[in-house]
Structures are given as C-alpha cells and as structure tokens.
Structure 1
Amino acid sequence: MRYFIDIAYDGTAYHGWQRQPQSITVQEELEKALTTLLRSEIAVTGAGRTDAGVHAKQLWVHFDYANLLTPDEQQHLVFRLNRFLPQAIAVKTMTPAAAEAHARFDAIERSYSYFIHQQKNPFLVNQSYFFEAEVDLELMNKAAKLLLGRQDFKCFSRSNTDVKTYLCDIREAFWSREEDRLVFRITADRFLRNMVRAVVGTLLDVGLKKTSVNELKDIIAGGERSEAGASAPAHGLYLTAVRYPEEIFIPYGRQ
C-alpha cells in the first residue's frame, strides 16, 4: 500500500532533504523513524529536494508498506512519528494513495516563500535573511513580472545539473512588506536546483539598482548563470506548499 505523509521541518541542522553519505539529512531521519516504528525497511520519496539550511512548511513524501492501515492506525503512526523524530521535524498528516501515485512526478504546483528582515533580530538568525540595505520594492515587483509564464530559466539554475529541460511555468511571483519583513512568494509547476535563491538574489540587485529591469530581460534570454545575481542565503527560504490532483488520494475503504 502506498501512503503520502505531509511533513514540515526547520532545515538549520540538516544537510538538505536528500540522503547523503556522512551528512545528516531530513530523509535519513524520516526513513529511520518509519523503519523502526513499522519494523520494516522503509524508503521514502519526496516531492523535491531542499538544500542545506532550507526549511519546509509543507513537503509531501510517499512510501510503500505491505499492510493496510486503518484511519486510526494512520493517526496513531503520525502520533508515534512525532514522538520519535527530532524536534525540528514534524509529521502533519498521512493519507493512502493510488499505487502508482508519486510524490515528485505527480505534483502539479509548488510554492516557496523567501523572508528578509532589515533590523537585527536574534530570534530570526536561522529563519530569515538579515539584509540591511534599502531596496526599491516597486522596482523589484516590476522585475518579478518578467518571470511569469513558461520560459527557459537556465540563468537561475545551478551549473552542471542533469535536468532535461530548463523550462518552468511560473504562475505567481511578487514581493510584499509584511509587518517588519520583506517576503517574496513564487509558485510554479516546477523549479530548478537553486533557482529560487538565484531569483531572489537577482531581484535584490534590481532593488539596489545594480541591475535594471531591461537587463533582467537580457539575463533571462541569455541563459548564463554568471550574468544573474548571487544566490540569496539558504536560511531565508521555505518550501510552503506542494499541490496534487485530488484523484491520486484514496479514501479509506476504496483500496
């Protein structure tokens, strides 16, 4: 039986989502917990990978387990997982899914938020990027509109990546001022590795008037990572939502 679980985590102490040799990752912690509690070797597949220090308010993962768990048993497993996992990782929900459902390939939309604080705050050291310089938010939003639609975003991709295409369909991209912080929100069908942090760094350059809106057009068209801005630090970035077609989830009793 295939199950999807919705998790959240503070990525500060982890070397990203994906299991790696000699590094502590969120995937490793989750697989270890599931294997121990279910007494069966469990491997999980995530909706995507987050880099070291990046956080997630929602990341769906799937795993296979031989037994059919009732709703009460699923709820109890969530409870036990939250007692077993480190404090920085939480399981929110669990739901059965179609046998062929895939956490990564069936996702139809992903959303990220990037947080910036401009006054020193010791409580945000690992949760938000401290960026003191004044920026032109209106100009940054004008530039952000250039990102909308289906385009080749190679200029924002990590070099030497193994993707087959750099095309992404960005459906939302905008900055807002929320209380004492600047927040960038972006939604697309898919993202390239390091893409959101590269976008944020480039838009900050626009806000500082180091890069013009017209120059950003040329950067996107040129496809050269070296022409775009430096990547913003990982700790300001949050994966906030991953969305799927409703039909991949199966109500209990229809398995």
Structure 2
Amino acid sequence: MNNYKMILQYDGTVYSGWQIQENAKTIQQEIINAIKIILKEEVNLIGSGRTDAGVHALGQVANFRSEKEIDLYKFQFSLNSILPQDISVLSIEKVRESFHSRFDAKKRTYIYLISQFKSPFYKNYSFFYPQKIDLEILNDLSKLFLGRKNFSSFCKKKSEVENKFCEVTEISWTNQFDLIVFEISADRFLHGMVRAIVGTLLKALKMEKPEEYIQEVFRSEDREFAGEAVPAKGLFLHKVEY
C-alpha cells in the first residue's frame, strides 16, 4: 500500500472546519472529493489536526493511502486544478506506509494575527483590536503558559478529549509590519485552546494583577474563568513538525 503525504494551505472563511460533518462544507471533504475524481476511489484522508470553523492553514499536513502508484507532479497539478481557489496543495510525497500525519506529529505551531487599525486587506484574516497592547507585558505573562500544564480552562466545555495536558514549548508576541503576531508551539492543542489563550492574555492586560489572574484561571480548571475566545479569522495553523 502506498502512503502519500501532502502539505496544504487553505482559507477557512467559508468552511465549517477541517473535519467532515453532516450537512456542512469542510476542507477534508473538498479534498477527498477532488482525489476521488482523479483516482476513481474514495480515500481516508488523515489531517494532522482539526482546525475549527473559520480557521486557516499555512502548513496543514495530511496523508492518505492508495494501491495506485501516483505520478506526484501530475497528481498535484490535477488536484490543484480541481480544488477551489481557497484550498491549495503545496507539495506531495510518498512516505513510509506507517506514517500517520496526526499521531506522528511532534510539534504544532499556530499564529494569531491582530490588526490595530481598520484595513480592508486584513479584515478577513486578523482580529481588529484598536485598544492599547503592551507587547513587553504580554510576553512576560505568556511565560506562565510554558511547560506541561492542564489546559482545561482554555478548551471548549464540550471537548471530547479527556486528557487536557499539553506541553507548550514556545510562545511569543511580536510586531511585524502592521500586525501584532502571537505565536505558540506545543505538542498538541485542545479544541479552541489558542483563541482562548489569546483572549485571556488580552483580558489580563486590563487588570491590576494580571499574573495572579492567569494563575487563578489555571487553578480553576474551568473555562468560565478564562477570557472570551478571540475570532477564528485571525488564527492560522502555521506548521507541523515530525
């Protein structure tokens, strides 16, 4: 059995996320449909992670298996010709049969974009937040998220995952061009975790004792204590490392 690994980009604006759902338009389903047209078979497409509705990807990784020997260059060209404009296959390669894009991933990195002035060019891909942002304070507060911790307070209450521990290895806020960029890397992410972290940090900025607030959020292990999740449109799955 041949196993093929793809790196994908997509604009998640009009999709209900990565994962196939009934009566919903999803990234996974669009790609499976396109592959079926080319290979004349329905494949099991495995993604490295499930991005939520409205979330984008710069480097999503997925794999599928097929008995067929594929001409990689021709297949990529054909797939991109069939897929809608908001989904793109950046690369495809043949990998070992045991490779699993989700379970073999060692580190995932997300970025979140914030714009501080009204812009027609950033409105679909960033959170417009005109309030004052102190990057130095945010970077200091963000250190509280580093390491292996219980992120129960930062995931959606309906999360099906029992294990809420994640290990955050890198986290930072920077000013790049006209945008404020939040970047975070971890071994895994829970449902809605990045957006909840960003919302909590922005909320903490307005408090007299922001560090104590964040520590209390962690101790509570309750989503109600954390800040409101920021909009999905500013979130991008940046890369997945193996």
Question: Displacement, 1:67?
Answer: 1.6
Q: Does 1:16 find its partner at 2:14?
A: no
Partners of 1:234 and 1:49 in 2: how far apart?
A: 13
Q: Which residue of 2 aligns with 1:251?
A: none
Among candidates 207, 211, 216, match of residue 205 of structure 2:
207
Tell me, what secondary structure is at the counterpart of 1:13?
Answer: coil
Distance in 1, matches of 2:60 and 2:135, equals: 29
The 1-side partners of 2:211 and 2:78 are apart by 51
Distance 1:193 1:233 in 2: 14
1:228 aligns with 2:226: yes
Q: Give the Cα separation in 2 of the matches to 1:214 and 1:81.
A: 51
The answer (yes or no) to whether the contact 2:148–2:168 under 8 Å persists in 1 is yes
Contact 1:134 1:208 in 2 (8 A): no
Instruction: Tell me the number of residue pairs that the alignment of Structure 1 and Structure 2 aligns.
Output: 241
| Other-structure match for 1:249 | none
Identity of aligned residues (%): 39
Q: Does 1:25 align with 2:23?
A: no
| Superposition deviation, residue 200 in structure 1 | 0.4
Q: Paired residue for 2:136?
A: 138
How far off its partner does 1:7 sit? 0.5
Structure 2 distance, partners of 1:211, 1:237, is 27
Change in Cα spacing, 1:128 to 1:165, as seen in structure 2 (3 Å) is: same
Seen in structure 2, the aligned counterparts of structure 1 residues 229 and 82 have a Cα distance that, compared at 3 Å, is same
Kept in 2, the 8 Å contact 1:137–1:207? The answer is no
> Following the alignment from structure 1 to structure 2, what is the Cα–Cα distance between the partners of residues 212 and 86?
44
Alignment map for 1:51-90 (pairs within 5 Å): 51-69=52-70, 73-90=71-88
The residue type equivalent to 1:92 in the other structure is: L
Which stretches of structure 1, 4 residues or longer, exceed 4 Å deviation after superposition? none
Equivalent residues in 2 for 1:49-198, closer than 5 Å:
49-69=50-70, 73-198=71-196
Whole-angstrom CA distance in 2 between matches of 1:164 and 1:109? 20
RMSD: 1.1
Distance (Å, rounded) in 2 between the aligned partners of 1:210 and 1:219: 15
Distance (Å, rounded) in 1 between the aligned partners of 2:231 and 2:208: 19
Unaligned runs of 5+ in 1: 245-255
User: Deviations 1:140-194 (Å, cap 9, x if unpaired)?
Assistant: 1111000000111111011021213111110001111112211100000000000
| Alpha-carbon contact 1:4-1:95 (below 8 Å) kept | yes
Query: Kindly tell me: are residues 87 and 9 of structure 1, through their superposed partners in 2, closer, same or farther at Cα, counting changes over 3 Å?
Result: same
Aligned-partner SS, 1:11 = coil
Give the secondary-structure state (helix, strand or coil) at the position aligned to 2:7. Answer: strand
Query: 1:210 and 1:28 mapped to 2: Cα distance?
Result: 47
Q: Distance in 2 between matches of 1:158 and 1:111?
A: 19
For normalisation by structure 2, the TM-score amounts to: 0.97
